[in-house]
Amino acid sequence: MTFRATILTLYPEMFPGHLGTSLAGKAAARGQWSLDTLQIRDFSTDRHRTVDDTPAGGGAGMVLKPDVLARAIDEAGTDDGRPRLLMSPRGKPLTQARVRELADGPGVVIVCGRFEGVDQRVIDARHLEEVSIGDYILSGGEPAALVLLDAIVRILPGVMGNDLSGTHESFENGMLEHPHYTRPQQWEGRDIPAILTSGNHAAIAKWQAEQSLQLTRKRRPDLLDKADVADD
């Protein structure tokens, strides 16, 4: 099954962006995933191709119109099992667990918001799942959509040369990943930790787990509440 992503956007030229290169681009060329875009403005019905209007109740900015956006969503398809996502700073924070759930599915339909936001009625009527990639504001949903797709595509089966690469990373076990080293053995007076060249795989695994725990405790203690480890 090919993972299929459909992007609803006012700027289709922003895609596939970096996903057209490196591992993601090669995977697309092999047919392991596909991406298509729909120009939201094409679903406007007036001669000015209007897609937004002033917010009800007043306020700054403009709001994407529900009728125009709904037609675009319906064109993308609503009965193929793909979740419909809206990239939004007020959405549920994206996690690696959610990324894996999406990667296990048939694909995604992603709405890229612009202006002040999207009319709440179309969010409710078309069951859009609001997703946030962080506590900051972007100029639009397109960069966030690229981030989400990057996270998904890289863990699709066969995309990475070694599928285990995607299981030994930060957040996969609820914690940050341990430090990495490679040759030369000494660089600018700094040595690779001796344990890593000892050949004792059990000791190495223990060291890596300890380092992971220490880093998480120092930098992201909030993760320890969810991690399957004892914070002692």
Tell me the pLDDT of the chain (232 aa) as tens digits. 899 999 999 999 999 999 999 999 999 999 999 999 999 999 999 999 999 999 999 999 999 999 999 999 999 987 889 999 999 999 999 999 999 999 999 999 999 999 889 999 999 999 999 999 999 999 999 999 999 999 999 999 999 875 555 555 657 778 999 999 999 999 999 999 999 999 999 999 999 999 999 999 999 999 998 655 544 4
List, in order of start, the domains of the chain with CATH numbers: 3-153 (3.40.1280.10), 168-225 (1.10.1270.20)
Beta carbons of 44 and 68 less than 8 angstroms apart:
yes
